[in-house]
Amino acid sequence: MRYVDFMHQSRAPDTSKRPARVALAERPLGILASLRAARRNLLEIIPAIATRAPIISGNTGARWHMVMDPDALRHILKDRVEDYPKSLVTKLILGPAVGEGLFVAEGAEWRWQRRAASPVFAARNMEALAPVMQAAARASAERIAPLAGTERAVDLHQEMVAATFEVISEVTFSGDEGFDRAAIHAAIDAYIAQTAKVSLLDFFALPAWVPRPHRIASRHVVRDLKRHADAAIESRRVAGPRDVPDLLDLLGTARDPETGRMMDQAELRDNLLTFIVAGHETTALTLAWALYLCAFAPEVQDAARAEARSVLQGRVADVADLPHMPRVAQIVNESLRLYPPAGFLSRTARKPDRLLGREIRAGDTVMLPIYALHRHHALWDEPDAFRPERFATPSHDRFAFLPFGAGPRICIGAGFALQEAQIILATLLSRFRFSAVPGREPIPELILTTRPKGGIWLTLERA
């Protein structure tokens, strides 16, 4: 856990200001400028006009379209989902690590895996995993408690990464000795650091068989990642299933109800790695940004804390408590709106089409800048403001809020992520008061996910 000493500051943040945001591009970027921006922070290639326009098109070596209109997004993600598969760049970045798992697979290969895995993520199974989330919330509170009232700031991003990795590793492999948590965590971080940045070859949409040198260099990391996962799977095969089945047990016995097909060793490994990579990174970011926003707006934090303390009475939050803490859920949703972990998605048009009267050719890249969609002036009141109450009685279009995607390919673990985030956030808010550190404002930075550059440095006091 990282912490730093800071002089005590009683001054609260000025909540008339807007929380941290990225200055979007005010003028068109050329090919090289776009590449530099994309490698530095993918959010910087989004034109500012994307928060006001329904669609933008351009050509920087390859034809592309950015879509921010809910009806057009419904067309892409739901009505014609088969005609807009995930882009080549997405597959090049994630494919080596997660193979043909649910996140990358297309067509019939995706459909049978989704049918087989969907029952695994049923509400009853997710609720059964709540004790693991509670244990992580309790452990996180115990780790940061010694810093309460000491004027030492802690990086809550790193703390939330630690907490959510405890959850995902426990619900995936139930603490098997064959699962080396530290090694897999280090391998994931190394893989993202080496492979997630866009290359010039990606910009020109060159085919996958053209080598990307920086991704070739990561092959040893992928081998290590898969080797550790295979060892854990083999260890479980020898030891047998747990009394309370975890994701490994559930996926290992999952069957496609239409064909009876089950996952082989490689498919099981690829999907487990998908859930490990996505399952802790995205929830950790949601929690880190939520705590930043609570410190940014003390009055919102105080109201949520009063609610959580009234319900929990000193306990760690449980699933049954969540419906009684609506303010916590609203903060989580508003955090996902302002800082969506998957802030930029991309698809490739498989067939000619028209979107909002715009010609779409087969092979065109269709970008879904979720960060801009969630801050669009035609879709949200005060789009850059932190206003969690907007989710008390939501009136937005379903396809204006896409932290987990939508349509048939909506994130299968969305319920798991929301349950975990609310349990941990409610527990921490009920026990601590978080305050911002002047001069340590995070910068939203999108490489693979929307991370807080510089960390989320907060001080805390016991509530």
- Rounded to an integer, the average pLDDT of 314-336 is 98
pLDDT attached to residue 4: 56
CB 70 within 8 A of CB 399: yes
Q: 292 pLDDT exceeds 80?
A: yes
Phi, psi for residue 20 in degrees, rounded to 5 = -50, 135
Q: Give the pLDDT of residue 7.
A: 37
* Maximum average pLDDT range among 181-185, 245-249, 320-324: 320-324
CA–CA distance, 144 with 76 (Å, rounded to integer): 44
* Among candidate residues 245, 417, 427, 414, the one with its CA nearest the CA of residue 318: 427
**Most confident segment among 39-53, 178-192, 425-439:** 425-439
Mean pLDDT of 271-282: 85
**pLDDT given at position 206:** 57
Question: Nearest CA to 152 among 367, 440, 395?
Answer: 440
Residue owning tokens 């949200």: 380
Average pLDDT over residues 96-125: 90
Mean confidence (pLDDT) of the chain? 88
Give CA–CA dist 153/435, Å, rounded: 9
What integer pLDDT is reported at residue 175 of this predicted model? 61
The C-alpha angle 13, 142, 174, rounded to 5 degrees, equals 120
- Tell me how many degrees the CA angle 19-20-23 measures, rounded to the nearest 5: 125
Q: What is the pLDDT of residue 207?
A: 59
Residues 6+ apart with CB under 8 A from 10: none
For residues 378 and 113, give the distance between their C-alpha atoms in angstroms, rounded to a whole number. Answer: 37
Q: Which of 118-132, 270-284, 314-328 has the highest mean pLDDT?
A: 314-328
Give the pairing type, strands 365-368 and 63-67.
parallel
Q: Which domain holds residue 15?
A: 3-462
* Cβ atoms < 10 Å from Cβ of 175: 12
pLDDT at 203: 53
The confidence score (pLDDT) of residue 208 equals 57
| Spatial CA neighbour of 371 closest among 13, 20, 2, 108 | 20
User: What residues form the annotated binding site?
Assistant: 411
Average pLDDT over residues 71-92: 92
Q: What is the pLDDT of residue 219?
A: 73
Q: How far apart are CA 340 and CA 289, in angstroms?
A: 10
pLDDT digits (tens, 9 = 90+) for 242-259: 877 888 899 999 999 999
Binding positions for heme are 411
Reported confidence tier of residue 453, pLDDT bands at 50, 70, 90: very high
Question: Is it the case that residue 43 has pLDDT exceeding 80?
Answer: yes
* Percentage of residues of the chain with pLDDT beyond 70: 89
Copy the structure tokens of residue 322. 């969540």
Burial of 363 (C-beta count, 10 Å sphere; 0-12/13-18/19+): middle
DSSP letter at 180? -
CA end-to-end distance (rounded Å), the chain: 21
CB 439 within 8 A of CB 430: no
Hey, how many other C-beta atoms are within 10 angstroms of the C-beta on 234? 12
CA-angle at 104, arms to 55 and 201, nearest 5°: 65
* pLDDT winner (highest mean) among 21-30, 74-83, 244-253: 74-83
* Least trusted range by pLDDT, from 8-17, 201-210, 220-229, 287-296: 8-17
Confidence class of residue 8 from pLDDT cuts 50, 70 and 90? very low
445 within 8 A of 197, measured Cβ to Cβ? no
> Going edge to edge, which strands form the sheet with 345-348?
55-59, 63-67, 365-368, 345-348
Please name the residue that has the structure tokens 């907007």: 390
Please write down the long-range contacts of 129-133, taking CB distance under 8 Å and 24 or more positions apart. 129/171, 129/246, 129/416, 130/318, 130/319, 130/419, 130/423, 132/167, 132/170, 132/171, 133/167, 133/419, 133/420, 133/423, 133/424
- Could you tell me the CATH number of the domain that includes residue 59? 1.10.630.10
Residue 80 has pLDDT above 60, yes or no: yes
**pLDDT class of 12 with cuts at 50, 70, 90:** very low
CA distances from 167 to 261, 269, 271, 397 (A): 29, 18, 17, 32
Residue 55 burial (C-beta neighbours within 10 Å; 0-12, 13-18, 19+)? middle
For 67-136, the DSSP string reads: E--HHHHHIIIIITGGGSPBPHHHHHHHHHHHTTSTTT--HHHHHHHHHHHGGGGSHHHHHHTHHHHHHH
pLDDT of 114 higher than 90: yes
Whether 66 has a pLDDT exceeding 70, the answer reads yes
Burial (Cβ within 10 Å: 0-12, 13-18, ≥19) of residue 314: exposed
Residue 211, pLDDT > 70, answer: no
Domains: count for the chain: 1
Give the model's pLDDT for residue 98: 76
146 or 232, greater pLDDT:
146
pLDDT of residue 240: 83
Confidence at residue 451, expressed as pLDDT on a 0 to 100 scale: 94
Q: Residue 377 CA to chain centroid, in angstroms?
A: 23
- What is this structure's pTM? 0.90
